[in-house]
A and B are shown apart, each in its own frame.
Chain A
Amino acid sequence: MTAILERRSAVSPKRSKRARVLMKGNEAIAEAAIQAGCDAYFGYPITPQAELLEWMARRMPELGRAFVQAESELGAINMGLGAAATGARVLVSTSSPGMSLMAEAMSYMAGSETPLVLVNVMRGGPGLGSIGPSQSDYFQAVKGHGHGDYRVPVLAPASIGEAVELVASAFEIAERYRTPVIMLADGILGQAMEPVAPHFRHPRRRQFDWALTGADGRPPRVLRSLHLQPERLEEHNIALKAKYREIVQREVRWSGEQLDDADLVVVAYGTAARVAHSAMTKARGEGMRVGLFRPITLWPFPEPQLHELALQAAAMLVVELSAGQMVEDVRLAVDGRCPVAFHGRTGGMVPSPDEVLEQLRQLASRVSARGVA
């Protein structure tokens, strides 16, 4: 464990094997990336992810690794593209307005199959919006960012501890499939402090037969997304699609709680899932059979799992820190098998567990009324 972590440790690791370290989300994500072997970090100051950049500014040079505060998010992500093109392990972070600027390079990296991990600590939008927590970039992260036919894996932690684990997974997925990967957090995950078990993973290094290192003793390599011949570009798109199909088959992650006997299923990710969990506990106290389904990968979306769950559930309630984005994917997965209600708050507002509980009560009465009819 690093000196910085030791200084921050509430309990000396020597005294307890179960030592946990109190860490701010942004800093924990940064340190997890460092421990995962991140060679280079590029960023631009934006709230609420600035501590991530600041942590990297201190730690990366001290380890002899690359850190650049770029002139813009365009600069940051393109520095990331350049470093990643050499096979380096690269982290870039930003928050929502910055993510919009990075959309262009995401498309290029998807096209040229360049692995990189991008953390978006979401804030309220649209436009300059607010600096409060939000999940209003779900569409952006999951459905596209940049132009063209491509997909990008999106990982959504619900706790700082999970974020630490998912950073390592993000690098592994990025390198295994040669793709950018997004980690979608929000202002609460970025800013909150939680005890974290500092079990950092160190993904193994791969040999890349595409990395640009100088054509020394081998034929030159070109990382490109331009294919002017329609036949050639279609071939490329078909290959990408096959890769995405493999990701859908192999990388879906989700977690469920109290689903076995659940009539009502709350579907939520990230911070919203924390609120939903509290609401579920309260609802169970009132005798309602409520379960929680939490997608961890937003793409690939746990569609078959939700589809199956919809046979058992009387209804689902989707809770988001948005005006309703993931709910569309839930409805696609459920495919009319059960009613899907939505509750969301926006602008940096966070629903309370009681608010969600009230929604569950209303949903239960609607469902039972319909059951009687």
Chain B
Amino acid sequence: MTTAAAPRVIFSRPELLNDVSTHYCPGCGHGIVHRLLAEVLGELELGPRTIAVAPVGCAVFAYDYLGLDWVEAPHGRAPAVATGIRRVRPDNFVLAYQGDGDLAAIGTAEIIHAAGRGELITVIFVNNGIYGMTGGQMAPTTLLGQRTTSTPAGREARLAGYPIPMTEMLAILPGVAYAARGSVIDPAHIGKAKGMIKRACQAQIDGTGFAIVEVLSTCPVGWGMTAHESMEHLADVEKVYPLGVLVDRSTATLQPASGKGG
């Protein structure tokens, strides 16, 4: 005679994820990334220690969904705002959440110099290749040929340049402890992205340097696709922005800046 297994919870809302309905469009990847963050911060018990920086863009409302202390940054300035927090609150965990218009266009200087300083912050960079909130205009990350409301005939390199691989560019800087690119294309990749986010948080906890995880995400409304089509389209995006860990210096402790050369 077999006894029935005791019921157990195998799926629930993470404690840090607020029980509210979402403003994000159907098929948008922000909700997935929010959940991953809530899970990781919860597992690492970072919630009560976290001060987070919200971007300008759709994800400014991250503070409605993640039960953390948040400050809004002006467009693109999140890494500078996070730097200010980090320098006066050494015991807190500092998180910046940015989109690709925010990080790869208007905030290019701020992200490069925060990384260059090896600031002990963790940046979640959600790349959906478009300005979602303002109606689907071209971003620096938009693929060549991609139609947007500001490249109605498709992005043409001669006129609008090439997609910028921000995370690869950041990965070459010695202050960067960890840089990786994940995707929300399917559950397996979502699981991998979570692992990357966790690693990027751990780098800050260990004090090894700046950490960034780029997550390729969807914008079905901006892309003019159904939610399902947009997930399939991510496969094309991944050809331009390959997935994986771009650099991991987080196992080596950073040398103090005052140390002698050699």
Contact = CB atoms under 8 A, between A and B. Distances in A.
A158 interface: no
12 contacts: A66-B88, A78-B80, A81-B71, A85-B81, A112-B72, A214-B49, A214-B92, A214-B93, A216-B48, A221-B69, A221-B70, A222-B71
> Which of A42, A88, A90, A215 lies at the interface centre, i.e. has the most chain B CB atoms within 10 A of its CB?
A215
B83 A85 contact: no
Interface stretch (B60-68, B155-163, B248-256): B60-68
Contacts of B74: 78, 81, 104-105, 108
B147 interface: no
A82 B81 contact: yes
Given A82-B73, A86-B92, 10 more contacts: A71-B109, A75-B109, A79-B80, A81-B73, A81-B74, A81-B84, A214-B48, A214-B50, A222-B72, A224-B72
Contacts of A217: 48
Interface in A83-97: 83-86, 88, 90
B87 A68 contact: yes
Contacts of A215: 47-48, 50, 67-69
Interface of B: 47-51, 53-54, 60, 63, 67-74, 77, 80-89, 92-93, 109-110, 112-113, 117
B70 A220 contact: yes
Interface of A: 39-40, 42, 66, 68, 70-72, 74-76, 78-86, 88, 90, 104-105, 108, 112, 212-217, 220-226
B242 to A, nearest CB: 29
A86 B220 CA distance: 37
A356 to B, nearest CB: 42
A interface: dominant SS: mixed
Contacts of B63: 220, 222, 224
Contact of A78 (B68, B69, B81): B81
A221 B85 CA distance: 15
B84 A71 contact: no
Contacts of A223: 70-72
A80 B80 CA distance: 8
Contact of A82 (B67, B80, B109, B117): B80
> Which of B51, B60, B68, B86 lies at the interface centre, i.e. has the most chain A CB atoms within 10 A of its CB?
B51
A248 B252 CA distance: 56
Nearest to A225: B72
A213 B72 contact: no
A38 B83 CA distance: 17
A40 B149 CA distance: 43
Nearest to B61: A226
Contacts of B89: 86, 88, 213
Contacts of A71: 109-110, 112-113
A112 B88 CA distance: 19
Contacts of B117: 68
A84 B109 contact: no
Contacts of A72: 109
A83 B84 CA distance: 4
B71 A212 contact: yes
A80 B63 CA distance: 21
Nearest to A224: B72
Contacts of A76: 80
A91 B121 CA distance: 22
B130 to A, nearest CB: 21
A78 B85 contact: no
Contacts of A70: 80, 113
